[in-house]
Structure 1
Amino acid sequence: MEIYLQEKKEEMLQLIEQLVNIDSGSYVKKGIDKIGSILKEKYEELGFIVEVKEEKQYGNNLVIQHKEAKDPKIIMVAHMDTVFPEGTVAKRPFRIEGDYAYGPGVVDMKSSQVELLYALKALILSGTKGYENVQIILNGDEEIGSPSSRPLIEEKSQGKEYALIMEPARKDGSLVSARRGGGRITLIVKGKSAHSGIEPEKGRSAIEELAHKIIELHKLNDHEKGISVNVGLIEGGSSVNTVSPNAIAHVDIRISEMDQADYLNEKIKEICSKAYVDGTKVIIEGHITRPPMEKNDGTENLLHVIEDVGKEIGIQVHDTATGGGGDASFTSAAGVATIDGLGPVGGNAHSDKEYMEIHTLPERTLLLARTIERLSR
């Protein structure tokens, strides 16, 4: 397998270039679906059955497994969408400089798509049956919280023993064994307008009320326990000489343990139930949508398997926790032993400096193929 993957490195890079040079931001449905059709054809050539789950608003989701598969025990998830708007590719298409490949979504996660495909190719050519033990979900909305694909991932996680999630490895090559969960809430504060010079006493400032609430919300932060509450955007008011009749806060919440969700929900309700400025009221919208991926015994055991495989092929495997959310949270919450970050090494995702380290492409593909093989014995 190792020789085969080294020989196929240029071919893999050509496919990565093709995928990167298609705009596929989460709201660019036509681009996501184009990537889906390219990958569908590639998998069907290998004897896989591809079921297209049509979506009206977001990119279609694909469910893939080999025609000989009977009861696959490994679920693999890789997203086709990026964070970049339509037109990004025209400004900075795929390019290679030295040992680095650049372009929108090159590491998060179009290189992972190619790695997954070629890992299965390598397994088929080697004569092992690991490729029959996987069920793959390629989704089109991960970067916006997987609104359409989450139920699909949760459904297909049932009965699985292992989940291998294809987000890129961290900059230092680490796999991801824990992720924070979280969500977004919006506070909409209603007050009463009044002229701030003529009759300010008749007004009820929504901005003043929101200011009190922001201070209380930020007191909920407990970074040692992995709780983060951040009011990242605020808006409100109608003019500088008017007591504000409205104000809005957009709040990002992160948690490390599932029971923290109930705690924060109660605390936020408590804060919002009290009016600091008489005559104002608040509406809460949104909630915690993504459970955390907790490092449990199943994760530890799966990690040890991957570490052993790494030793066999000369890769030292490390793991880390990350604050970002991902689809690994859904498989983990479903009780499936989950490891994330199995894609190639790279960094600066979601920016115009996003890169992938080319030399890690064949070696991480080999690590993935050998891991599937080991888990399928």
Structure 2
Amino acid sequence: MNFKELPFDSNLMLAGLKVWVECESPTFDPASVNRMMDLAAYDLAALGAVIERIPGRMGFGDSVRARLPHKDMGKPGVLVSGHLDTVHPIGTLEKLPFRIEDGKAWGPGIQDMKGGNYAALEALRQIVKAGLDTPLPVTVLFTPDEEVGTPATRGLIEMEAARNKYVLVPEPATPDGGCVTGRYAIARFDLKTIGRPSHASWALKDGRSAIAEMARRILDIEAMSGEDCTFSVGVFHAGQWVNCVSSSCQAEVLSMAKRQADLDKGVEDMLALNDASGDVVFEVTRGVTRPVWEPDADTLALYEITREIAAEIGFDMPHCSAGGGSDGNFTGAMGIPTIDSIGVRGAGLHTLNEHIIINSLAERAKLGAGLFLRLT
């Protein structure tokens, strides 16, 4: 049987995906992430996969590793690397409920990246049901912390990738429906200002505001952005009482660069901002980093196979290097042939408009099945 003959049905897939989407799984709620891992582990176990539950660490949820039955199980094969955490806090379903309208489906995490993960699983389900054998053994690894830079499971992903010949990352498709064959570098920084407290009305002049200093620093940092390296502040925490001059403020910075040298320079510039000379101390600490992934000949060869399969299905699949960051940064930078963003089409990821194009579920599941059955 040819992979194009497998009976993929987007509406049937959507019914299964709905269960996943309605299991909210924000990164910083490990119990909720673990409930999502339970659902994925069950669906994978139903395929006959050997399931390993890997305990979480650093305050994050667990990971699930599943190895599909194969005569060469344990030998280098195909790794599907995906995350099941989302940026949406518990309760988002009240604002962004699962709903269907005009060929689209909405819900928290449905595009990033539960839809793509589910499509990959459906590809394997139809292959198993048809009694087909993949040339290479397939491993699926679902992790809990990608949305915060993968601080807890980077080593797990890299070690698993090193055991395999190819890595497939079903992150959302690019806006033009394409895939990603390279990613820009990402670095995170933690900022802290330490001021001097005082009563905001009785003794305002005696205080030194950590908030005011952080505000000035944020403007300076974001002004450092250029074509080759950008800086943006996305998190800001400070204050508890309006009648107190703040003594502490924290913020987080995300930096993106197209080349590793540009990121290295950006890191150097950020760390040079540490300053204890004034009335308010300014501290900069480097957080997690995703390396630049530049496509090599092996990744481009994998892309050509992917493009050919897409053409056989009936759609065009361009490719590009992209920002955003994913766990493909790690595997691609290791030199392992990696194809990223082969997941569902949609828009609005990380917002209350996050949705997918429903018919892309069958389209991307069929693409995944083609890859599983063709890669050697």
> How does the TM-score come out when normalised to structure 2?
0.85
1:94-129 C-alpha deviation (Å, 9 max, x unpaired): 222131111122222222222111211233345543
* TM-aligned CA deviation for residue 183 of structure 1: 2.8
1:126-137 equivalence runs, <5 A: 126-130=130-134, 132-137=136-141
Match of 2:21 in 1: 20
2:104 corresponds, among 92, 100, 122, to 100
Match of 2:342 in 1: 342
Match of 2:68 in 1: 66
3-state SS of 2:67 partner:
strand
Output the amino acid matched with 1:28: D
1:1-377 equivalence runs, <5 A: 1-6=3-8, 8-55=9-56, 57-68=59-70, 69-130=73-134, 132-191=136-195, 213-214=217-218, 216-223=220-227, 225=228, 227-232=229-234, 248-272=250-274, 275=277, 278=278, 280-376=280-376
- Mapped partners of 1:40, 1:59: distance in 2: 14
* TM-aligned CA deviation for residue 147 of structure 1: 2.5
Output the amino acid matched with 2:360: T
Cα 1:38–1:198, aligned 2, differ >3 Å: closer, same or farther? closer
Cα 1:241–1:16, aligned 2, differ >3 Å: closer, same or farther? closer
Answer yes or no: is the 8 Å Cα contact 1:344–1:364 preserved in 2. yes
Answer yes or no: is the 8 Å Cα contact 2:207–2:245 preserved in 1. yes
Give the paired residue count: 371
Answer yes or no: is the 8 Å Cα contact 1:171–1:347 preserved in 2. yes
Gaps spanning 5+ residues in structure 1: where? Answer: none
Cα 1:215–1:111, aligned 2, differ >3 Å: closer, same or farther? closer
- Mapped partners of 2:95, 2:205: distance in 1: 54
- Mapped partners of 1:371, 1:192: distance in 2: 60
Answer yes or no: is the 8 Å Cα contact 1:72–1:135 preserved in 2. no
Gaps spanning 5+ residues in structure 2: where? Answer: none
3-state SS of 2:176 partner:
coil
Range with bigger deviation, 52-61 or 232-241: 232-241
* TM-aligned CA deviation for residue 138 of structure 1: 0.9
- Mapped partners of 2:248, 2:35: distance in 1: 43
1:4-40 C-alpha deviation (Å, 9 max, x unpaired): 333x433312101111121222233333323322222
- Mapped partners of 1:344, 1:209: distance in 2: 43
Identity level (%) = 29
Cα 1:196–1:32, aligned 2, differ >3 Å: closer, same or farther? closer
**Bigger radius of gyration among the two:** 1
3-state SS of 1:299 partner:
helix
Output the amino acid matched with 1:262: D
Answer yes or no: is the 8 Å Cα contact 2:149–2:288 preserved in 1. no
* TM-aligned CA deviation for residue 156 of structure 1: 0.7
Cα 1:81–1:192, aligned 2, differ >3 Å: closer, same or farther? closer
3-state SS of 2:105 partner:
strand
Answer yes or no: is the 8 Å Cα contact 1:124–1:131 preserved in 2. no
Cα 1:131–1:109, aligned 2, differ >3 Å: closer, same or farther? farther
3-state SS of 2:342 partner:
coil
Answer yes or no: is the 8 Å Cα contact 1:63–1:136 preserved in 2. yes
> How does the TM-score come out when normalised to structure 1?
0.85
Cα 1:268–1:49, aligned 2, differ >3 Å: closer, same or farther? same
